Amino acid sequence: MGLPIVSFKTMKQSDNVVVLGAGPSIDAVHEKVREWYDAMNPIVIGTHHKYFIPSSYTVFDTPDRFLNMQGKLSGFYLVGDRIRAKDVKRKYKKRALRIRYGPVSLLKWKADRFVVKSNEVPYGAPGWDAVCIATFCRPKNLLIAGIDGYFISKSKVSIEHAKRSLIKYASNTRAIRVFKNAKQRAKYSLHEKLRKKMVPKIFRYLVRELGINVYIYEESRFHGVDKNCLREIGVHVIGDEK
């Protein structure tokens, strides 16, 4: 028997939601996030890790991360299509939901208008999966922190994680991954460029089409997008309001 699908019906409803990514920028704002959490009593959607505040839901899109963290987290597990139903231990079956991906990924999105429909999430990355899934909770206020993307220089592309904001386990794979091979650098640089183009479209959908009050921090990179662009859309940028 398959797992229930992540949807408007299976997600808890709340006026306030927090989405947490594991990027290093969250270290600089985790105290502010905790204050927001204490004041707003939100649903928390995390990605891949255990954070400094308890997650109501955790998104997993890779089997190794899920197998490492299964049983170490409270709340529900939202699992991608690479994680098999039989990988979910019997005692956690009631806490697992299946993410349904749409036919178009974020990297291949061509349309100017971004939209989430029919409980389908555009496949992209766990952080953006979590943001899309957050809309199923029908929030009025959405705080997003720790979504940074790749770090790119002339010689390498690296994936870095927070050091202070994640609860460390021996099985965690939190080391910095570095891609120095020219072909790999080109591949991940392209991915980062395409995701950066998607960021304004996603925020425009959240703010202008869904009417959500979206809050982010100046420290969050969001693939290097210009925060002034997000301010013009109506995103509330905390830390350096202009």
Structural domains in the chain (count) = 1
- Whether the pLDDT of residue 168 is over 80: the answer is no
| Count of Cβ atoms closer than 10 Å to residue 191 Cβ | 18
DSSP class of 112: S
Residue type, 76: F
Q: Is residue 34 part of a domain?
A: yes
Q: Is residue 229 part of a domain?
A: yes
Q: What is the pLDDT of residue 240?
A: 56
Q: What is the pLDDT of residue 173?
A: 46
Paired tokens of 67: 């197998």
Q: At what angle do helices 182-204 and 126-134 cross, to 10 degrees?
A: 10
Q: Is residue 136 part of a domain?
A: yes
> Domain of 198?
16-238
Q: What is the pLDDT of residue 122?
A: 95
DSSP class of 208: I
Q: Is residue 217 part of a domain?
A: yes
Q: What is the pLDDT of residue 128?
A: 97
Percent of the chain whose pLDDT exceeds 70:
95
| Count of Cβ atoms closer than 10 Å to residue 238 Cβ | 18
Q: What is the pLDDT of residues 207-225, one digit of tens each?
A: 999 999 999 999 999 999 9
Task: Report pTM.
Answer: 0.94
The side-by-side arrangement of strands in the sheet containing 57-60 is 96-98, 76-79, 57-60, 43-47, 16-20, 141-145, 213-217, 236-238
List the end-to-end C-alpha distance of the chain, in Å, as a whole number: 52
Q: Is residue 58 part of a domain?
A: yes
Task: Please identify which residue in the block is written with the tokens 């939901």.
Answer: 97
Q: Is residue 5 part of a domain?
A: no
C-beta of residue 169 within 8 angstroms of C-beta of residue 66: no
What SS3 class is residue 142? strand
Q: What is the pLDDT of residue 169?
A: 59
Backbone angles phi, psi at 46, to 5 degrees: -100, 175
Q: Is residue 8 part of a domain?
A: no
Query: Among 212, 166, 186, which Cα is nearest to 24's?
Result: 166
C-beta of residue 47 within 8 angstroms of C-beta of residue 57: no
Between β-strands 157-159 and 151-152, what pairing exists: parallel, antiparallel or unpaired? antiparallel
